[in-house]
Amino acid sequence: MHPRPLVALLDGRDCTIEMPILKDVATVAFCDAQSTQEIHEKVLNEAVGALLYHTITLSRDDLEKFKGLRVIVRIGSGFDNVDIKAAAELGIAVCNVPASSVEETADTSMCLILNLYRRVTWMHQALREGTRAASVEQIREVAGGAARIRGETLGIIGLGRVGQAVALRAKAFGFGVIFYDPYLPDGVERSLGLQRMATLQDLLIHSDCVSLHCSLNEHNHHLINDFTIKQMRQGAFLVNTARGGLVDEKALAQALKEGRIRGAALDVHETEPFSFSQGPLKDAPNLICTPHTSWYSEQASIEAREEAAREMRRAITGRIPDSLKNCVNKEYLMTASQWTGMEATAVHPEVNGAAAYRFPAGLISVATGGLPGSGAGVESIVAASLPMAHGITPVTQLPHTPSPGQPTKAESDRDNPSDQ
């Protein structure tokens, strides 16, 4: 009976921030899954919206498991873990939250760069392990490798929001900053007073420290590999707070062991969660690693979750993709789908707090602009988040009143007849 659409947090448990924003327009559930195998059938069948972090992957096959999904919102900026083209072909809009962690990530990136140049992390570790440095000769020994920054060249790959923030911070330390970004129009370098390199190779050749700030896509997997590492300067530094897939860790490990790369600081890894005792990097020297935390501050986390919930709300209560603020596969959606922008009627909250809605599942068009069943005493639905780790407490059926003669893909898979 026209329940609210089901919105599921796929790879988390905590919905406390999202609830106040969504509870009057949706039913919110969480799955706490690490793969779609772990997602309950109810969610696969009924979820209209999905919220997710970076710890679950949605490939084409994964997306096809969902029967009613219309919108995916990534709580964060990277969306390489979602096949956005396949999503578009399936009529699913994908959104992200690009702004919340820009400065946190830039600040952490600078911290990693400074830890490579000034060696604070390694020296603290040495002190923890009992090293004593009494004389100046011993001090020089334990600090050996600590380098002057002024005059060094920092090469930024990807001058997006984070890359720009890093560039401006690095300038304050006396870095000469260069960047490579094939997607930006001419002139950005003039705005910020940086030097632009025409090719990746140019950047690698001229950098003392390389920092990755590009998103991961089908063109740049293992951007940093054996071949490109050999284009880097002897003894250069590498920093990665972007995506693990950009770096071939076997090649990096080899370069670290041979000293071709003097040190690397990585917040992201090919396999996460990262462990020093496993994987290609396990015996590599001169490594600083953090567990995908460069984005985090309490404020950034809350802001991202609130913005994701608001985007989800816009999707539910507005038009997909027109009402969406940060839809990342809009162009694919428009071309892939046969239907035009779907309309969803506004939510009409009722006196008793229960909300009725109409969700544009599949190809339902709302001819009348009214709500099916509205005025007929819509059942109130508990909108509280239902703990549904691997099972869902009963949720009233989602209404599907197909337009006459228009079977929908989603429709045909539903095992419950409409109650029309």
The residue whose two tokens read 């009057």 is 24
Minimum CB separation of residue 301 from a second copy in Å reads 6
Q: Which of 123, 188, 192, 382 binds a second copy (CB under 8 A)?
A: 123
The one catalytic residue in 243, 262, 269, 358 is 243
Q: Which of 24, 38, 64, 103 binds a second copy (CB under 8 A)?
A: 103
Q: Which of 59, 61, 124, 403 binds a second copy (CB under 8 A)?
A: 124
Residue spans of beta strands (DSSP E) within 68-184: 71-74, 93-95, 153-157, 176-180
The residue whose two tokens read 């984005």 is 295
The one catalytic residue in 41, 141, 272, 379 is 272
**411 given a catalytic annotation:** no
CA-based nearest residue to 179, from 169, 247, 166, 217: 166
Minimum CB separation of residue 341 from a second copy in Å reads 32
Q: How far apart are CA 266 and CA 241, in angstroms?
A: 6
The residue whose two tokens read 């780790």 is 389
**40 given a catalytic annotation:** no
Q: How far apart are CA 414 and CA 410, in angstroms?
A: 7
Residues 172-201 interacting with a second copy (rule: CB under 8 A): 172-174
- What size, in residues, is the chain? 420
139 vs 384, beta carbon nearer a second copy: 139
Q: How far apart are CA 213 and CA 9, in angstroms?
A: 27
- Token digits of residue 102: 């820009």
Q: Which of 21, 53, 284, 326 binds a second copy (CB under 8 A)?
A: 53
Residues 243-282 interacting with a second copy (rule: CB under 8 A): 272-277
CA-based nearest residue to 73, from 3, 4, 109, 21: 21
Q: Which of 1, 19, 99, 142 binds a second copy (CB under 8 A)?
A: 142
Q: How far apart are CA 235 and CA 177, in angstroms?
A: 18
**How big is the site for a second copy, counted in residues (CB under 8 A)?**
72
**272 given a catalytic annotation:** yes
89 vs 104, beta carbon nearer a second copy: 104
Dihedrals φ, ψ of 163, to 5°?
A: -55, -40
Minimum CB separation of residue 4 from a second copy in Å reads 25
- For residues 280 to 319, the per-residue mask of contacts with a second copy, x marking binding by CB under 8 A and - elsewhere, is --------xxxxxxx-xxxxxx------------------
